[in-house]
Amino acid sequence: MRKIILPALLMFLSVSAVAQSPRLPNLRLKSINGRWLSLLDYKGKVVLLNFWATWCPPCRTEMPELVTLQGQYGDRGLQIIGVTYPPERRARVRRFAKSIRVNYPIALGTRANKAEFSSDDTLPLTVIIDREGKSRGVIRGILLPEEFEERVKPLLK
């Protein structure tokens, strides 16, 4: 009986550990500049994967602050990546990004891309990813300065 229970228990524990692993999918998206972006390209950086839309007022309000954060903390390893939430046209996204001088990459996303991180329709939605490529949480709505200080800044040390 022991010979059966121990392997079954070990198998259950390893499957359970994998199911709880915060490893992220290898998200690969086309940027608004026509280049491919992959989360794997940013390993070693703290990534804020920000889902947004040009038609979303809170998203438009948040973006100038994200531009400031990228400029202020980019040399410490912060990388913000904007991912549009459909429907979006590349030309419209490019015009908007240029108008506010976005200094981080923006990719055209799909509903399925966002669904890998959250099942609700909240925008903006920011996924915090540590230097090892593990999810450290999701922020629904505008990223507040207090949340950045508490949840993101410690990962930059």
pLDDT attached to residue 151: 97
pLDDT attached to residue 23: 65
Asked if 77 and 156 count as a contact pair (C-beta separation under 8 A), the reply is yes
3-state secondary structure the chain: CHHHHHHHHHHHHHHHHHHHCCECCCCEEEECCCCEEEHHHHCCCEEEEEEECCCCHHHHHHHHHHHHHHHHHHHHCEEEEEEECCCCCHHHHHHHHHHCCCCCCEEECCHHHHHCCCCCCCCCEEEEECCCCEEEEEEECCCCHHHHHHHHHHHHC
16-72 per-position pLDDT tens digit: 232 334 566 778 999 999 999 999 899 999 999 999 999 999 999 999 999 999 999
Q: What is the mean pLDDT of residues 108-117?
A: 90
Class level of CATH domain 22-156: alpha beta
More confident residue, 49 or 115: 49
pLDDT attached to residue 22: 59
Domain segments of the chain: what residues? 22-156
Q: What is the mean pLDDT of residues 75-103?
A: 94
Q: What is the mean pLDDT of residues 95-119?
A: 93
